[in-house]
Amino acid sequence: MTVSSCRKDKDIQKITEEEPPIEKIKLERTVAVSVEGFVFGNNAEPLANAKVTAGNTEVYTNDHGFFSLTDVLVPDIAGAVTVSHENYFTTAAAFAVDQERPVSLSIRLAPNTIAGSFNTGNGGIVTLENGSKLIFAPNSVVKKTGGAYSGEVQVAMTFVDPAETESYMQEEPGNRTGLNKKGILQYTESYGMVGAELRGADGELLQVAPGSKVQINIPVSPDWSQQAPAQAGLWSLDEEFGLWQEEGVLVKNGNMYTGEVTHFSFWQAAQGTDLVSFKALIVDESNTPIGGAGVSINYAGSLNSAAAGYGRADNDGFVTGYIPANRTLSLRVGGGWAICADGEVVKTFTTSGQDIDLGTLTGSVSRWMMTLEGTLLNCENNPVQQGYIYTYGKGFYHKIPVVNGTFSFSGLVCDQSSVYVVGVDETNNQQSDPFQFTASPGTKELELQACAAPATTYLTFSVDGEEIFNKEESNHQLQIAGIYTFPPNGTSGSTNTLVCDQNWKPVEGLYFVFAGLNVPGQIHTVEEIFLEGNNNRLITQTPIPINITSYGKTGGFIEGNFEGVMYDWTDGVTGTTPRQVSCSFKIRRII
């Protein structure tokens, strides 16, 4: 199922086997739509400065992981946004196109953790614990730009298991629809997905060499081994259009599908089948639309049976998308991150070859409903006239408008996880301190004041009195820097904090890590500064103390400064001339 948070009053056109394969023409025929949503990471943390692209337009998420695209051109048959962020796999989130309503998306990125490495001259094998495997022949890798490459190849790799219903709904790239070899739009029933990314020793992107192939092994869940066919289609994710493209055949040997690939993104073992479109309005027991509700469609059976798809209702409770034809399915309603453990089945139905309107569906969800309401004042204690409340945390990502200083929103929560709330005064470019509470059903009344600090970040760095780096950003929709706070490294309470410029592009900007507790004070130190990549840096002989004047909670600010003596370090060679350095920063904490 491809679920979009929007309503479509006319049927979504689809292609069947009897119609000519005209999908390429449809992808070139575009319409203007508006899309907004949240991007978050593996632990439900908001990802600031993720690049979101649709057509020829790109924006970056703000410090709350939120993005908004207005009147962007996308293909009328299948809209999509491409999302990328350093340290995560690039993905595409697709949606059914609706020119009448903005589309609302929640997008989770998978970390591109290095699974193994090899030398280009020798080739190599990279394997995950579940048996997912890539086998590289010698000299089978080149630079993504096309140039020759020799040296270490680092392989990031991940597996997405469709048998694990909840994690699959969170991690699935693309949108389950794809073009088969005939160019016909189909629904893909997946048996497993593998994502991979190749990088060189200096972080440059690599790709399979022209004329070379890499063997790929995609495991099948033991629960599905008997029903998985002897052969399955080999489909790759088109990151621009959000569609899967059928490129080859996989052969099943035991619990493993094996084939060959010529490039890397996400690959899946899947069977293409006919599809239909559906739409529905989700309401609660009092007939009130359930905004942001998680909607899951499963093949009929237990909750842990194969998921046919997952998405979120928009703020008005509408959902629409593609589902497989000629199947018996169950629609469930739960929270915004995933379906609650005892998710409410609101409809069981059987599809045919025709599009289906499920009408208004009522979910008995009051036991999961949480209402946030309250006031937002500015620094003069007057109601904020133009602003928003951002909420983020597992299952509760929302942007809530503030009207005359007040706000009210009801949504579903599945468990008692932490939720952060930040009030933003857009007129005066101010925000409140992040307020953290434990999500639970019922009404939560809040009184917020957007006066904690100007929503402006900066990062400056000077060497021998010459300013070589200076960035400042006051637009609340785009912060130029981010903070990553790594978990304790073995010392009780110890923390490493990464300070970096926009999108964390080490090869283009400045970044450094400082050690110490996540509290203000002079107990923090820095030992090296990276300039335009890992091979160009400044290092210390003795760690330099940093004065941290504030260390905010997630969504707040980390502010500090330092000065001291460092030495040039280029391509492994340390200079002998002492360099006087100074740095000041005010960066938003995003984890």
- Give the pLDDT confidence score for residue 575 in this predicted structure: 86
Question: Of the candidates 170, 174, 175, 171, which has an alpha carbon nearest to the alpha carbon of residue 12?
Answer: 175
* Among 106, 132, 156, residue at a domain's last position: 106
Give the full edge-to-edge strand order of the sheet including 275-283.
344-350, 328-334, 294-299, 307-312, 2-4, 318-324, 275-283, 356-362
Distance CA 550, CA 171 (A): 35
CB-side exposure of 24: number of CA atoms within 13 Å? Answer: 5
Question: Residue 106: which of 398, 412, 489 has the closest Cα?
Answer: 398
For 470-528, how does the pLDDT look when each residue is reduced to its tens digit (9 = 90+)?
877 653 322 333 343 333 333 334 567 777 664 444 445 677 888 887 788 888 999 99
- For residue 401, what pLDDT is reported? 93
Tell how strand 275-283 and strand 356-362 pair up: parallel
Question: What is the rounded CA–CA span in Å between residue 376 and residue 387?
Answer: 9
The separation between CA 229 and the C-alpha centre of its own chain, rounded to angstroms, equals 32
pTM (2 decimals)?
Answer: 0.70
- For position 52, what pLDDT does the model report? 95
Question: What integer pLDDT is reported at residue 196 of this predicted model?
Answer: 96
Q: Domain span at residue 87?
A: 17-106
**Does 180 map to a domain?**
yes
Identify each DSSP E strand in 284-386 by its residue range. 294-299, 307-312, 318-324, 328-334, 344-350, 356-362, 369-377
* pLDDT for residue 459: 85
pLDDT bracket for residue 26 (50, 70, 90): low
Residue 11 domain-assigned (yes or no): no
**CATH number, domain containing residue 27:** 2.60.40.1120
Same domain? 260 vs 120: yes
Assess whether 155 and 254 both reside in one domain: yes
Instruction: Write the CB contacts of 315 (distance below 8 Å, at least 6 apart in sequence).
Output: 5, 104, 289, 291, 292
The answer for 413, left when phi > 0, alpha when psi is -120 to 50, beta otherwise, is beta
pLDDT at 499: 78
Q: Point out the domain boundary residue: 297, 330, 364.
A: 364
Q: Environment class of residue 271 by beta-carbon count within 10 Å: exposed (0-12), middle (13-18) or buried (19+)? A: middle
Q: What's the mean per-residue pLDDT of the chain?
A: 82
Residue 212 falls inside a structural domain: yes
Quick check: is 6 in a domain?
no
Q: How far apart are CA 112 and CA 114, in angstroms?
A: 6
In a domain, 190, yes or no: yes
- Which pLDDT value is given to residue 482? 38
Same domain, 84 and 150: no
- State pLDDT tens for residues 175-215: 789 999 988 889 998 899 999 999 999 889 999 999 999 99
Give the β-pairing of 536-551 and 557-570.
antiparallel
Out of 193-207, 210-224, 283-297, which region has the weakest mean confidence (pLDDT)? Answer: 283-297
Q: Are 374 and 437 in contact (CB under 8 A)?
A: no
Task: Kindly report the CATH number assigned to the domain that includes residue 319.
Answer: 2.60.40.10
The reported pLDDT for the residue numbered 479 is 33
The pair of structure tokens assigned to 489 is: 């490294």
Token pair belonging to 354: 């025709």
Domain co-membership, 247 together with 268? yes
Whether 244 and 236 have beta carbons less than 8 Å apart is answered as yes
- CATH code of the domain covering residue 125: 2.60.220
With respect to residue 215, please indicate whether it lies within any of the assigned structural domains. yes
CB 268 within 8 A of CB 190: yes
* Paired tokens of 328: 């018996």
Judgement on whether residues 266 and 142 belong to the same structural domain of the protein: yes
The model's pLDDT over 315-332, given as tens digits with 9 standing for 90+, comes to 788 888 889 999 999 888
Same domain, 282 and 354: yes
Boundary residue ending a domain (454, 484, 501): 454
Nearest to 34 by CA among 77, 2, 92, 81: 81
Residue 131, classified by CB atoms within 10 Å of its CB into exposed (0-12), middle (13-18) or buried (19+), is middle
Q: Are residues 100 and 213 in the same domain?
A: no
Name every residue whose Cβ is closer than 8 Å to that of residue 492 and which is 6 or more positions away in sequence.
none
Instruction: Quote the CA–CA distance of 189 and 176 in Å, as a whole number.
Output: 7
348/379 same-domain check: no
With H, G, I as helix, E, B as strand and everything else as coil, classify residue 56: coil
Structure tokens given for 473: 């950003």
Q: Looking at the structure, do residues 392 and 349 belong to the same domain, yes or no?
A: no
Residues 269, 169, single domain; the answer is yes
Residue 4 inside a domain? The answer is: no
Q: Are strands 510-516 and 231-238 parallel, antiparallel or unpaired?
A: unpaired
Number of domains, the chain: 5
Which H/E stretch holds residue 60? strand 57-60
In a domain, 9, yes or no: no
Which tens digits make up the pLDDT trace of 243-277? 999 999 999 999 999 999 999 989 999 999 999 98
Evaluate whether 24 touches 337 at the Cβ level (below 8 Å).
no
**Does residue 124 share a domain with residue 202?**
yes
The residue written with tokens 């194969």 in the block is 306
Clarify whether residues 42 and 135 are in a common domain: no
Q: Over pLDDT 70: what percentage of the chain?
A: 82
| Residue whose tokens read 């283009």 | 508
Given its phi and psi angles, is residue 152 left (phi above 0), alpha (psi -120 to 50 degrees) or beta?
Answer: beta
Any residues with CB less than 8 A from the CB of 560 and at least 6 apart, and which?
524, 546, 547, 548, 549, 550, 584, 585
